[in-house]
Amino acid sequence: MKQRLRIQGLRKRWLLNIAGPLAAVLLVVGVFGTVGISSMYYSSARSTLMAKATAGADYFNTYSMSGYSEYYRRAVLYAASFEDADVIELQFLNRYGRIETSTSGLQAGSAPGTPEIESAVQNGRPETFVGEDPHTGENILAVSCPLEFNGSVVGVMRYVTATRQLDQQLMVVSLTIFGGALAICGLILITSMVFINSVVAPVAEVTEAAKRISGGSYGIQIPNRYSDEMGQLVDNINDMSLKISQSEKMQTEFVSSVSHELRTPLTAINGWGETLEDEEDPTQLRRGLGIITKEARRLTNMVEELLEFSKMQDGRFNLQVEPMDLQAELEDAVYTYRQLFRQEGIELEYDDGGELYTAPFTGDSERIKQVLCNLLDNAAKHGGSGKRIVVAIRQTRDDYIITIRDFGPGIPEAELPFIKQKFYKGSSRARGSGIGLAVCDEIVGRHGGTLAVGNAEGGGTIVTIALPIDETVE
């Protein structure tokens, strides 16, 4: 229910933030467009009527104002022959605003009563009026031009036209503009809903999948039907779900493996401890103490790996770096393990190329030793069936290269990309927690180097460590 409300809220926010402002802009544009067109229409009509009235007044002022009788006679004739009488009413008024003659036969002596007449008489120039006729209530456009005799205004020529047709045209234009605006708003609304639904539907699907993942359904996959950013999001969610599933599986296997690994040496230690309590045979005592020591060492190594892994997880994994002799550190590790391996029937060979490498190297000697010992132990554990391990060191221009190779069965090619992942053991049945190689890779990486694991030509596994030589300052 909460998710549905959130999705509806997303639609609402989209409409309010996108469609709403666009509709408001279109409404404002429609209003201003209508006002502008109305102003343009009326301005054009006023200019046309003003030009016609001014031309008629100029004619009368020039040719018909020799006397009142001549003026009146010509006014009657002009009104009678006025060609535009069907759309424009022509009126002749005296200087007091009273009608003397008109094309519509208005009663002489009546007064139109619009203010532009008095303004034209007083100012001596044409004046216009747009508004409601005081007598008929009809909307009109009027132009009054003064008629002069001997420099004085003696009358007014007034052109009047109804704006009904003009208003109807403006109404049609306004309705067209607002109709277009409404159509555009409707189109925007429809496309917005289509778009937001195309976003909301996958968001809802991804949200539901994320909810299921958070609820413990690791590994579920969302069908990806999208080719845009939403498709990338779905791919990332699917990848996250798969990795969480793999991590969960590896951690489960890790707990099971560690439990088994801890139980085996503890059982041996407890069993031999109880056996040796009443044992008097020196040979049997030595044998039992040897087994207890070996299993205790295995427990110690396992606990150390777990502690290192814990430090890696919570950020407490630090290095104590100082200048060190990397070749000497490697030789110490080889000599330490050579006798142990010989007891197990494994020959440990060391190859330094007959060189003494003196290039400066700065690192944490304890951590480097931990890496070397762990890798030697892995070589014996996983490749001991080959009965031979070869350790070599070389110096290049920029790096120390250390290789540790066994001659065992090697690693399946499908497992090589995952071999350094935490908890990963693959098809190996050898004892171990599955985090030793991940810890080694972290330590080498902290030293700025690389650790690579692969299958050697001719069989077996080869581990290659590259550690950078310190830059010297001349």
> Helix, strand or coil for residue 287?
helix
CB–CB of 453/465 below 8 Å?
no
Task: Indicate the class that CATH gives domain 2-168.
Answer: alpha beta
pLDDT of residue 474: 34
Distance CA 318, CA 234 (A): 37
Pairwise CA distance, residues 208 & 221, whole Å: 12
How would you list the strands of the sheet with 347-351, edge to edge?
Answer: 347-351, 388-395, 399-406, 461-468, 450-455
Cα–Cα distance measured from residue 333 to residue 327, given in angstroms and rounded to the nearest whole number:
10
Query: What residue type is 276 in one-letter code?
Result: L
Q: Which residues contact 401 (CB under 8 A, 6 or more apart)?
A: 393, 394, 395, 464, 465, 466
Residuewise pLDDT in 10s, the chain (474 residues): 444 444 456 667 766 776 677 777 777 877 887 888 888 888 888 898 889 888 888 888 887 777 777 778 888 888 888 888 888 888 888 888 898 888 886 677 888 889 998 898 888 899 999 988 888 888 889 999 998 888 788 889 999 988 888 788 878 888 888 788 788 877 877 877 777 777 777 777 777 777 777 777 767 777 777 666 777 777 887 888 777 777 777 667 666 666 666 676 777 778 777 777 777 777 777 787 877 887 787 777 777 767 766 666 666 667 888 999 999 999 998 998 888 888 889 999 999 988 888 899 999 998 898 899 889 988 888 887 888 999 999 999 999 999 999 998 888 888 888 787 766 666 665 555 567 788 888 889 989 999 999 998 888 999 999 999 987 433
Domain locations along the chain: 2-168, 229-308, 322-468
> How far is the first Cα of the chain from the last one, in angstroms, to the nearest whole number?
71
What gap in Å lies between CA 37 and CA 45, rounded to an integer? 12
pTM for the structure as a whole = 0.46
Q: At what angle do helices 2-14 and 164-214 cross, to 10 degrees?
A: 150
The reported pLDDT for the residue numbered 315 is: 63
24 neighbors 185 (Cβ within 8 angstroms): no
CATH number of the structural domain 322-468: 3.30.565.10
At the topology level, CATH places domain 229-308 in: Helix Hairpins (1.10.287)
